Amino acid sequence: MKALKIAEGIYDVGATDWNVRDFHGYSTENGSTYNAFLIIDEKVTLIDTVKVDFLDQLMAKISSVIDPAKIDYIVSNHTEMDHSGALPRLLHRIGKDIPVFCSKMGHKNLASHFGQKINYRPVADGEELCLGKRTLKFIETRMIHWPDSMFSYLVEDKILFSSDGFGQHYAGPERFDDEIGEAIMPYAKKYFANILWLYAPLIKGVLNKVRELNLPIEMICPDHGVLWRQNPAKIVEAYTRWCDLQPQPDKALVIYDTMWHSTEAMAEAIVAGLAAEGVSAKPMHLRTCHRSDVVTEAFDAKALVIGSPTLNNGLFPTVADFLTYLKGLKPKNKLAASFGSFGWSGEAAKLVEDELKTMGLHLSEDPLKIQYVPNREGLEKCFEFGRRIARAMR
Ligand code: FEO
- Helix H, strand E, coil C: the string for the chain is CCCEEEECCEEECCEEECCCCEECCEECCCCEEECCEEECCCCCEEECCCCHHHHHHHHHHHHCCCCHHHCCEEECCCCCHHHHCCHHHHHHHHCCCCCEEEEHHHHHHHHHHHCCCCCEEEECCCCEEECCCCEEEEEECCCCCCCCCEEEEECCCCEEECCCCCCCCCCCCCCEHHHHHHHHHHHHHHHHHHHHHHHHHHHHHHHHHHHHHCCCCCEEECCCCCEECCCHHHHHHHHHHHHCCCCEEEEEEEEECCCCCHHHHHHHHHHHHHHHCCCEEEEEECCCCCHHHHHHHHHCEEEEEEECCCECCECCHHHHHHHHHHHHCCCCCCEEEEEEEECCCCCHHHHHHHHHHHCCCEECCCCEEEECCCCHHHHHHHHHHHHHHHHHCC
17, 73, 120, 145: the active-site residue: 145
Q: How many CB atoms lie within 10 A of CB 237?
A: 12
pLDDT of residue 68: 98
- Residues in contact with ligand 1 (CB, 6 Å cut-off): 78, 80, 82-83, 145, 164, 223-224
CA of 196 relative to ligand 1 center, distance in Å: 11
pLDDT of residue 347: 98
The C-alpha atoms of residue 103 and residue 75 are separated, in whole angstroms, by 9
pLDDT of residue 296: 98
Question: How far is the first Cα of the chain from the last one, in angstroms, to the nearest whole number?
Answer: 56
% of the chain with per-residue pLDDT over 70: 100
Whether the CB-CB separation of 197 and 151 falls below 8 Å is answered with no
- Catalytic residue at 83? no
The C-alpha atoms of residue 166 and residue 220 are separated, in whole angstroms, by 8
- pLDDT bracket for residue 319 (50, 70, 90): very high
Angle between helices 262-276 and 376-392 in degrees, nearest 10: 50
Nearest CA to ligand 1 atom 1: 164
80, 148, 293, 353: the active-site residue: 80
Angle between helices 348-358 and 317-328 in degrees, nearest 10: 10
CA of 274 relative to ligand 1 center, distance in Å: 38
CA of 318 relative to ligand 1 center, distance in Å: 25
CA distances from 192 to 144, 164, 224, 226, 237 (A): 11, 10, 12, 15, 13
The C-alpha atoms of residue 247 and residue 231 are separated, in whole angstroms, by 25
**Which residues partner with 103 through β-bridges?**
123
- Catalytic residue at 261? no
Average pLDDT over residues 151-167: 98
CA of 367 relative to ligand 1 center, distance in Å: 38
CA of 165 relative to ligand 1 center, distance in Å: 9
Q: Which atom of ligand 1 is nearest to the CA of 164?
A: 1
Average pLDDT over residues 260-284: 98
- pLDDT bracket for residue 282 (50, 70, 90): very high
Whether the CB-CB separation of 120 and 97 falls below 8 Å is answered with no
191, 199, 239, 256: the active-site residue: 191
Domain at 4-243, CATH homologous superfamily: Ribonuclease Z/Hydroxyacylglutathione hydrolase-like (3.60.15.10)
17, 41, 164, 300: the active-site residue: 164
> Tens digits of per-residue pLDDT, 74-103?
999 999 999 999 999 999 999 999 999 999
- pLDDT bracket for residue 253 (50, 70, 90): very high
Residue 42 has φ and ψ, to the nearest 5°, of -60, -35
CA of 80 relative to ligand 1 center, distance in Å: 5
Mean pLDDT of all residues belonging to the chain: 97
- Catalytic residue at 191? yes
Model's pTM, two decimal places? 0.97
The C-alpha atoms of residue 66 and residue 152 are separated, in whole angstroms, by 22
% of the chain with per-residue pLDDT over 90: 99
> Tens digits of per-residue pLDDT, 172-228?
999 999 999 999 999 999 999 999 999 999 999 999 999 999 999 999 999 999 999
- Catalytic residue at 164? yes
Q: How many CB atoms lie within 10 A of CB 333?
A: 12
Is 252-389 a CATH 3.40.50.360 domain? yes
What is the separation of C-alpha 182 from the centre of its chain, rounded to a whole number of angstroms?
A: 18
- Catalytic residue at 157? no
The domains of the chain are located at 4-243, 252-389
- Catalytic residue at 145? yes
Nearest CA to ligand 1 atom 3: 80
Q: Which residues of 107-121 are buried (b: 16+ CB within 10 A; e: fewer)?
A: bebbeeebeeebebb
